[in-house]
Structure 1
Amino acid sequence: MALRRVFRPSVLLSVLLIAALWGSGLLFLRKVWFYRDPDRRPEENSASSIISPADGQVLYIKHVSSGNVVSEKLGGKIPISELAKVEGLPKEGLLIGIYMSPFDVHFNYSPVSARLGRMFHTQAKVNLPMVDFWEYLRLAVLRRAVDLFGKRYHLENERMTLILENGDGPKLAMVQIADKFVNKIRPFVAEGDELRVGQKVGFIERGSQVDLIVFSTDVVPAVSVGDQVYGGKTVIARYKGSK
């Protein structure tokens, strides 16, 4: 009996200690680590380079043709206007999708030096979850590629679309897409602002996604599906003829 009396409180104390450590870890992740703001500089300072707008894993790289993107999973074409929620966009280009896990930095950055022409905020009745448990495990923990292109959230969730006008150069569209538990997409910029490459333009809570569309036939990807990229730093595409 004496051993029982000693053992039970010690087990309870251990459980409480583990719970406290677990709770402290979660609190640190949500209140401190999640909002970290590392100094970021482009790894190349060239007008022909396009820098990643977000931290995360490259989900897909697809060509835009005649205003559409082919979805192998759905067996059909998706209009680029459905992704950006903007009409009148150019018809040809390159689309790169980046998944931001809760472990990634969640600030977003301007991929080029450009003028911010228009901003389009599209609300959703309800934000759908981007991934199921197994997809989350593969993406966030195992860091393995999962093709999420064309899933319902991709077309229906809240998003902020930034139209970047690069002088006489190609136009770009940066689409910030919210996940189920995202409270808000917070922009740091306004229409008409002159942006420098790598400048912070916004913040998205928790897990989310950024699609970058470069409206040019003279651009090639500098990354592959599954690569980890860093916002404001990693070169993800280049205009043809550059090294």
Structure 2
Amino acid sequence: MAGEILDNQGRGDAGWSWPPIHPEGRKYGVIAVAISLVPLLILDWEIIGWPLLMLSAGVFAFFRDPERVVPQADNAIVAPADGIVSLITTVEPPPELRIDDGSGHAGLPEGPVTRISIFMSVFDVHINRAPIAGTIRRLVYIPGKFVNADLDKASEENERQHILVERNDGIAIGFTQIAGLIARRIVPSVKPGDTVAKGQRVGLIRFGSRVDVYLPAGTDPKILLGQRCIAGETILAELGTQGLLEGISQ
């Protein structure tokens, strides 16, 4: 299915298949299986071995990397992460995405913007994707704490990585990968200067975390607080589109 064009008129061929495992997770899955086989095959401790073997399957599942159908509308900003929209608030973007970094490329402008926070539990896919097509202008890693990623202060206190993507027309989107209580490593797969497609994989965060997205001024979310997002598929916002949207939890 990868690379195939599908549309809302029925063009293309879609079907379910087992998702592949991200290379970063294969070694952890193999290690988990090896550990579970020791009590099963050597010590004959089935009461321990079988739960460990089931946990090994969970490790492989955590690193699953399913294909996604990415909307190609030019003004669409897609979700960079799977998970629940846990916060929508107005803030100043992080200084790492705003200040002059000496690269010759401008950062995000000064002034408050809408920040959408997507919380990923250990059951969500943890592959992160580019919200727009463009060039990676910044990739800034910040060491920090590991407080609950669902808390607002995690944006300023936790270990995190800021990414700035700039379109050909100069519009830029900043987003931040944030480690959480269990997450202990942010793994990028891009670097400054790389050109990415909308929805392209840009990295992952291991074992539960959060991603913040900073919308450009004059753009409101097209999603609701509490809504579930699918990375590369859910449209977070449409550039230049504003307006209140309401939903009912039921």
TM-score relative to the length of structure 1: 0.71
* Matched positions, count: 189
Match of 1:233 in 2: 233
For 1:232 and 1:195, locate their aligned partners in 2 and report how far apart those are by CA, in whole Å. Answer: 13
For 1:207 and 1:154, locate their aligned partners in 2 and report how far apart those are by CA, in whole Å. Answer: 15
Identical-residue share of aligned pairs (%): 31
For 1:228 and 1:182, locate their aligned partners in 2 and report how far apart those are by CA, in whole Å. Answer: 20
Match of 2:122 in 1: 102
Amino acid at match of 1:197: K
Match of 1:188 in 2: 189
More strand by share: 1
Pick 1 or 2: higher relative contact order, CA cutoff 8 A, min separation 6: 1
For 1:45 and 1:130, locate their aligned partners in 2 and report how far apart those are by CA, in whole Å. Answer: 30
Q: Counterpart of 1:233 in 2: which secondary structure?
A: coil
Report Cα offsets for 1:86-134 as digits up to 9, x if no partner. Answer: 443312432111001000000000011111111111112x422335xxx
Q: Counterpart of 2:220 in 1: which secondary structure?
A: strand
User: What is the Cα deviation at residue 178 of structure 1?
Assistant: 0.6
Stretches of structure 1 that go unaligned for 5 or more consecutive residues are 1-15, 64-68, 70-78, 132-147
User: What is the Cα deviation at residue 26 of structure 1?
Assistant: 1.7
The answer on 1:36 being equivalent to 2:56 is no
Report Cα offsets for 1:40-69 as digits up to 9, x if no partner. Answer: 121x22011111000000012223xxxxx2
Amino acid at match of 2:140: F
1:23 to 35, 48, 52: 52
The answer on 1:45 being equivalent to 2:72 is yes
Stretches of structure 2 that go unaligned for 5 or more consecutive residues are 1-44, 100-107, 243-250
Match of 1:138 in 2: none
Match of 2:147 in 1: 128
Match of 1:154 in 2: 155
For 2:147 and 2:240, locate their aligned partners in 1 and report how far apart those are by CA, in whole Å. Answer: 37
Q: Counterpart of 2:207 in 1: which secondary structure?
A: coil
Match of 1:174 in 2: 175
For 2:149 and 2:213, locate their aligned partners in 1 and report how far apart those are by CA, in whole Å. Answer: 18
Amino acid at match of 2:146: N
The answer on 1:58 being equivalent to 2:85 is yes
Report Cα offsets for 1:149-189 as digits up to 9, x if no partner. Answer: 2x3x3311111101111122421111000113323111101
Distance change >3 Å, CA 85–CA 128, structure 1 → 2:
farther
TM-score relative to the length of structure 2: 0.69
CA contact (8 A) 2:97 2:174 kept: no
Amino acid at match of 1:103: F
Which structure 1 residue ranges, 4+ long, deviate > 6 Å from structure 2? none
Q: Counterpart of 1:223 in 2: which secondary structure?
A: coil
Match of 2:19 in 1: none
